[in-house]
């Protein structure tokens, strides 16, 4: 990552407050600037022109100075926290040589809004300083002409790297990979390695190990920097290098790599081809970003938000981002409504059922979602084998029965008390227990089935569970009532 070259202020304290303060300073300056602009627009007096022009310039100059002092990641944060018009004003004031870095840092939605306003030649210039792996990250958002420009300006090696980085799925290790590596041969002394390193102006960030390769780029081992530092300089690399270090393939799942980083506390890992040639490395900062993004995407997906939504997105973008989920839920709600419709005769005779039925459906949904959340997590951690499935069904069913008797029993008593009908109470208790059992079964079955079908069990499962417990709950409750109360 190019933070290495970013010599601007990195805050000495990580205070969220500090960041908020940056943001506020910018907002104050923007507000002043706007006020002056309004003045200029309203009273078009030539006399004032000069003064206001100066004021105007002064605010912008101050803003510029502030922005220049902030770390790229902080500028990105400020851009994300401003509404579109102010965002673009600030974006215009950022020094062109930082554009590329900042584009890398902002969220997808904000990036889109920034790129839209840039001319092709500006974009080409902005991304010209980026590394191949960073270019690959931006590539999907860049216009074709800009990408052509970019390719034209790369040397052969970088072109190959860019092509290779762009060829991988975004959930593959290839997409996390960078090409900033330090490599040495196995048959040299540590002293020679130390001398070699002193020729660098700086080492790539996150260089915790040096890769040991032969003439054909085959990876033979890794030399941890910590080993390099503590061993006698006369030692040969091959006698202290680690041969058992974890290696990744570009087509490995990013998630598997992330788990390995977490499990074995890695800072970097080499990426090799099928014939063991070193092609890149993955560093922990890319992994941290990946973990955070995945967790966020999952949370958003659980509420049916297709992508991260820029809070200042247009109303129209928001509607588009959310409509599929609403449509899906509408369908399941209509189905549940038709289930109720089939029992209208029953409800007409005993209107208390209408008031009680949402409880049965709702608690079933809550309980089913608890089960599926737990199972999805266990699947993600690889804890569920063939053998454990039946055990899980049994356990969840038992939990459901206990809850059914306890909570269903309580509700039965409440229903009895409210409507002075012990049979209604009994139907309530039985329906609750049955629907909780349905919720338990479906809460285990759906994620297991999704996984067997090769789909992500974390996505969509919750809607299905709720659909089943809603329609199922209404059917069970109203069905039992029809059988026993009429």
Beta strand extents in 325-391 (DSSP E only): none
- Out of 15, 92, 116, 169, point to the residue binding a second copy (CB under 8 A): 15
Residue 367: closest CA among 396, 336, 338: 396
Answer yes or no: are the C-beta atoms of 78 and 90 closer than 8 Å.
yes
Asked if 194 interacts with a second copy (CB under 8 A), we say: yes
Beta carbon of residue 141, minimum distance to a second copy (angstroms, whole number): 20
Does an H or E element contain 209, and which?
A: strand 209-213
Asked if 385 interacts with a second copy (CB under 8 A), we say: yes
Asked if 223 interacts with a second copy (CB under 8 A), we say: no
Closer to a second copy at the Cβ: 303 or 453? Answer: 303
Asked if 54 interacts with a second copy (CB under 8 A), we say: no
Number of residues located near a second copy, criterion CB under 8 A: 143
Residues 399 to 418 in contact with a second copy, rule: CB under 8 A: 399, 402-403, 407, 410-411, 414, 418
Q: What share of the chain is helix, strand, coil (3-state, %, to 5)?
A: 70, 5, 25
Per-residue string for binding with a second copy, 294-333, x by CB under 8 A? -xx-xxx-xxxx--xx-xx--x--xx--xx-xxx-xx--x
Residues 448 to 477 in contact with a second copy, rule: CB under 8 A: 470, 474
Number of helical H runs and strand E runs in the chain:
23, 5
Asked if 25 interacts with a second copy (CB under 8 A), we say: no
- Out of 155, 216, 244, 275, point to the residue binding a second copy (CB under 8 A): 244
Closer to a second copy at the Cβ: 79 or 142? Answer: 79
Residue 473: closest CA among 322, 325, 316, 368: 368
- How crowded is residue 309: how many other Cβ atoms within 10 Å of its Cβ? 16
CA angle 227, 232, 236 (to 5 degrees): 75
Residues 85 to 144 in contact with a second copy, rule: CB under 8 A: none
Residues 65 to 84 in contact with a second copy, rule: CB under 8 A: 71, 73-74, 77, 80-81, 83
Residues 347 to 366 in contact with a second copy, rule: CB under 8 A: 347-348, 351-359, 361-363, 366
Closer to a second copy at the Cβ: 150 or 272? Answer: 272
Beta carbon of residue 156, minimum distance to a second copy (angstroms, whole number): 27
The C-alpha atoms of residue 409 and residue 133 are separated, in whole angstroms, by 60
Residue 176: closest CA among 242, 101, 270: 270
Answer yes or no: are the C-beta atoms of 108 and 96 closer than 8 Å.
no
């Amino acid at each position: 990552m190019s933070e290495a070259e970013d010599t601007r202020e990195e805050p000495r304290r990580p205070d969220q407050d500090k960041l908020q303060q940056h943001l506020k300073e910018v907002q104050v300056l923007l507000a002043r600037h706007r006020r002056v602009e309004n003045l200029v627009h309203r009273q078009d007096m030539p006399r004032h022109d000069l003064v206001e022009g100066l004021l105007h310039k002064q605010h912008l100059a101050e803003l510029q100075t502030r922005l220049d002092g902030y770390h790229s990641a902080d500028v990105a944060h400020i851009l994300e926290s401003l509404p579109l018009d102010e965002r673009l004003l600030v974006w215009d004031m950022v020094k062109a040589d930082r554009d590329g870095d900042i584009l890398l840092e902002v969220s997808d939605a904000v990036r889109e809004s920034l790129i839209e306003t840039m001319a092709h030649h500006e974009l080409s210039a902005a991304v010209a300083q980026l590394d191949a792996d960073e270019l690959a990250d931006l590539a999907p958002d860049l216009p074709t002409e800009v990408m052509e420009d970019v390719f034209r300006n790369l040397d052969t090696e970088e072109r190959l790297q860019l092509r290779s980085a762009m060829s991988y799925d975004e959930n593959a290790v290839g997409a996390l990979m960078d090409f900033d590596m330090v490599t040495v041969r196995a048959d040299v002394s540590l002293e020679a390695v130390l001398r070699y390193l002193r020729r660098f102006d700086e080492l790539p960030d996150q260089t915790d190990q040096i890769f040991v390769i032969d003439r054909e780029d085959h990876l033979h081992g890794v030399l941890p920097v910590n080993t390099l530092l503590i061993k006698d300089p006369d030692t040969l690399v091959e006698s202290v290098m680690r041969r058992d270090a974890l290696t990744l393939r570009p087509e490995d799942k990013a998630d598997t790599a992330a788990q390995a980083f977490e499990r074995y506390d890695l800072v970097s890992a080499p990426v090799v081809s099928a014939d063991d040639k070193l092609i890149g490395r993955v560093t922990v900062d890319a992994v941290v970003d990946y973990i955070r993004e995945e967790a966020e995407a999952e949370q958003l997906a659980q509420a049916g938000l297709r992508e991260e939504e820029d809070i200042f997105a247009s109303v129209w973008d928001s509607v588009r981002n959310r409509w599929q989920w609403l449509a899906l839920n509408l369908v399941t709600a209509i189905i549940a409504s038709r289930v109720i419709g089939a029992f209208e005769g029953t409800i007409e005779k005993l209107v208390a059922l209408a008031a009680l039925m949402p409880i049965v459906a709702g608690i079933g949904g809550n309980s089913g979602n608890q089960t599926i959340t737990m199972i999805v997590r266990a699947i993600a951690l690889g804890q569920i084998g063939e053998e454990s499935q039946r055990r899980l069904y049994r356990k969840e069913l038992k939990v459901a029965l206990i809850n059914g008797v306890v909570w269903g029993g309580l509700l039965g008593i409440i229903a009895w008390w409210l409507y002075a009908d012990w049979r209604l109470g009994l139907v309530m208790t039985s329906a609750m227990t049955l629907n909780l059992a349905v919720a338990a079964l479906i809460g285990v079955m759906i994620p297991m089935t999704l996984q067997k079908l090769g789909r992500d069990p974390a996505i969509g499962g919750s809607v299905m569970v709720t659909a089943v417990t809603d329609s199922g709950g209404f059917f069970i409750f109203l069905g039992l009532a029809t059988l026993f109360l009429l």
